[in-house]
Amino acid sequence: MTDETTKAVIDLLEDGIYIVSGGNLTKVTPKSHGEDVIIWKNGQPFDIIRSQRDRLEGQEVI
């Protein structure tokens, strides 16, 4: 018998990354540009570092 609380439904047509940790599902939403780094601790995802890249296209201020 399967416990229904251990299942989740995700939309396969929507871009994103999902992290499962400790029975919780976390969606990491996509960004226009940048980098996401997952930090692991004792074999489990612990933190995520999100950085953003800005392209230089003649802007006066970024």
Q: Is residue 8 situated within a structural domain?
A: yes
Q: What pTM was estimated for this model as a whole? A: 0.68
Residue 52 structure tokens: 């953003």
Over the stretch 12-60, which tens digit does the pLDDT of each residue have? 999 999 999 988 999 998 888 889 999 999 999 999 999 988 889 999 9
Q: Is residue 60 situated within a structural domain?
A: no
* Number of domains composing the chain: 1
Q: How many residues does the chain have?
A: 62
Q: Is residue 56 situated within a structural domain?
A: no
Is residue 5 over pLDDT 80?
Answer: no
Q: Is residue 62 situated within a structural domain?
A: no
Q: Which residues contact 41 (CB under 8 A, 6 or more apart)?
A: none
What domain range is 18 assigned to? 4-51
SS3 24: strand
| d(C-alpha 48, C-alpha 15), whole Å | 18
